[in-house]
Amino acid sequence: MYVAVTGLTEEELDPVLCPSGFLPVKVPNLCKGGNEVHSNGGFGWVVFMRGDKMKKSYHPKAKDEPWFSMAHQKHLHYNKEVLLPFIKRTRELLGWKPGSHIPEWLRACCWCDGDIPQLQAMLFEANEALDEAEKIVRNKHPAAGTAVFQPADKCPVFKLLKHVSARTTSKNVTATAFKDAIKEMINVTLRAKGLNLDGNVGKKNGLIDLLSSSPKILEAICTDDHIKEGFYASGMIDKETGMVPTHHALMKNCRIWESKVKGVGLPKTVKDHCKNNFSFWGRYNSKRGR
């Protein structure tokens, strides 16, 4: 799980102790099923982000460091600490050995919704070089098209998240050790790094409650069927094998493809051409991105 706490003030995230305004922390068991009596070995991330722009005068070293927006820093951090390790772990499950050559069939196709900070992170020069070395191809969805194209938006998880989280609190959690660990992290560990939420007790207690109950919420909504449903609907995989993209499902999400309006829809000859060359364009997309 990746939680971003945004809009913090200078009093809540000290600009001297945290000049960048971006404070990430790795939290053991902040994942599906993580707050059970026995740890499952998983973890999550919580990032605290100050709402103001970084001032160079906050810290002597800050003026010599490159400046990135808070959103840009978040996406760079997510790419390094979440996405890349996920890709590597997935490859290992398919037989790849860390440090060995990455074969072409293990090339990773990564999709994002394409907002400006994400695009900046994708086009960051250091990231482009890393993507080339790690055989990762970046793709973006059309503007304002995530609800149509993105599997995560087409599956019921997000809707269920709002429904279940509104009805679940840490009082529903039987294992109290995880909540105690969250309290210690916010009240003690992160205090030394500049975080101080004592000025807004309601915000602090709400955050502690949310983080403490999140593993139980994820356990209820993040089932295999719920997650796969979005990938089936978007055409990324088929229901029979769970591996092969499906032409019909992919194409029906394209408004021009489905349009019946004269002069807008694509001619039948063009559709037939795309269908007959579907496997070719699939290989082309996996190699070069879109």
Q: Could you give the 3-state DSSP secondary structure of residue 236? A: coil
Helix (H) or strand (E) holding 140: strand 136-140
- Per-position pLDDT tens, the chain of length 290: 999 999 999 999 999 999 989 999 999 999 987 766 556 778 999 999 998 554 444 444 445 555 568 888 888 899 899 999 999 999 999 899 999 999 988 989 887 776 677 777 777 777 788 888 999 988 777 666 666 777 888 888 888 988 888 888 877 676 678 889 999 999 999 999 999 999 999 999 999 999 988 988 998 899 999 989 888 888 888 888 877 778 777 777 666 665 566 655 667 777 777 777 777 766 666 665 54
**Cβ contact 16:174 at 8 Å:** no
CA dihedral sign of residues 188, 190, 191, 192: positive
Element (H, E) at 70: helix 70-78
Would you list the domain boundaries of the chain? Answer: 2-222, 224-290
Which residues make beta-bridge pairs with 43? 28
Instruction: Report the half-sphere exposure of 162 (CA within 13 A, side-chain side).
Output: 3
